[in-house]
Amino acid sequence: MDTNFATLNIDRPQAHVMLVTLNRPASANAMNSQLGTEIMTLFESLNLDAGDARCIVVTGAGDRAFCAGADLKERKDMTDEAWTKQHLIYERMVRAILGCPIPIIAAVSGAAYAGGCELALACDFIYAAEHSRFALTEVTLGIMPGAGGTQTLARAAGERRAKEIILTGKPFTAAEALQWGLVNHVLPRTDLLPEALSTAEVIARNAPISVRQAKQAIARGLNMSLSDGLVLETEAYYRTIPTEDRREGITSFNEKRSPIFRGK
């Protein structure tokens, strides 16, 4: 998989962990067409072949912003046709993130506004630095969230809170995001990335087939009735039984040693 991008930095800080950094710090990591295309390309590639990656951390360069939303300077003189074509990129981008079988952690430091907030919400869960602020400001600009925000926010925070956040466009703090269920942990900015990477390392040490099946069962099951979700869970569970990792997990437990999972 080609990881040579102009607006993304791809690092491998630990075994089986991929660190993806949005790298437009001079523009508060705002989402232009190139950044959207590169995120889309990366995650579509990961959906086809993840290689040895077992967990991904997504963050932004610098502490000013995770992602300040769409690059409005680029959009200033766009025609309706050009705007629509650009939005198709963002649609594919968010679907590729949501469809990624590998767990994704957003490490948010600074502003996560509009499309930047939607990008974080598309990840499996979020760690945020104490100074971070979130907002879905689209209605203040004559548009509305269009990269999954109306769906992912409502699922994270509930219908009434999502309506308040989206219909007012008002920013909110990391502490409020924690209280409302949008983020999992709020940390000092110096601890943010180390903690996100530490969690990614824990996930990456677990059996990758088990992790992927569990992620899929949770994500898909939320859109089903309880009885249908239980059927989905059972089917996902049965796919782990014939794996080498299942046998390794039980053997290592009985031999009182750490398991060595190979994703097979």
Q: Is 176 designated active site?
A: no
**Interior CA angle at 197 toward 193 and 201, to 5°?**
170
Instruction: Report d(CA 147, CA 119) in Å as an integer.
Output: 8
Q: Which is catalytic among the residues 107, 129, 138, 200?
A: 138
pLDDT of residue 65: 96
Q: Is 115 designated active site?
A: yes
Q: Which DSSP category does 26 fall into?
A: G
**Interior CA angle at 193 toward 36 and 62, to 5°?**
55
More confident of the two residues 253 and 183: 183
- The domain in which residue 227 lies consists of 207-254
pLDDT of residue 1: 67
| 260 belongs to a structural domain | no
Q: Which DSSP category does 60 fall into?
A: E
Instruction: Report d(CA 96, CA 114) in Å as an integer.
Output: 18
pLDDT of residue 162: 97
- The enclosing domain of 215 has a CATH number of 1.10.12.10
- Whether residues 216 and 185 share a domain: the answer is no
Digit-coded pLDDT (tens) for 30-55: 999 999 999 999 999 999 999 999 99
Q: Is 118 designated active site?
A: yes
Q: Is 159 designated active site?
A: no
Digit-coded pLDDT (tens) for 226-248: 999 999 999 999 999 999 898 98
Instruction: Report d(CA 264, CA 257) in Å as an integer.
Output: 19
Cβ–Cβ under 8 Å, residues 108 and 59: yes
Number of structural domains the chain divides into: 2
Cβ neighbors of 238 (< 8 A, separation 6 or more) are none
> Pick from 32, 35, 17: which is nearest to 107 by CA?
17
> Pick from 8, 44, 12: which is nearest to 29 by CA?
8
Q: Which DSSP category does 61 fall into?
A: S
Q: Which is catalytic among the residues 28, 50, 70, 106?
A: 70
pTM above 0.85, yes or no: yes
Q: Which is catalytic among the residues 36, 60, 69, 115?
A: 115
Between the CA of residue 237 and those of 185, 215, 217, 241, 259, what are the distances in Å? 29, 11, 9, 7, 19
- Whether residues 199 and 233 share a domain: the answer is no
- Whether residues 124 and 244 share a domain: the answer is no
- Whether residues 127 and 194 share a domain: the answer is yes
| 263 belongs to a structural domain | no
User: Any idea which residue has 């660190």 for tokens?
Assistant: 19
Q: Which is catalytic among the residues 60, 118, 157, 217?
A: 118
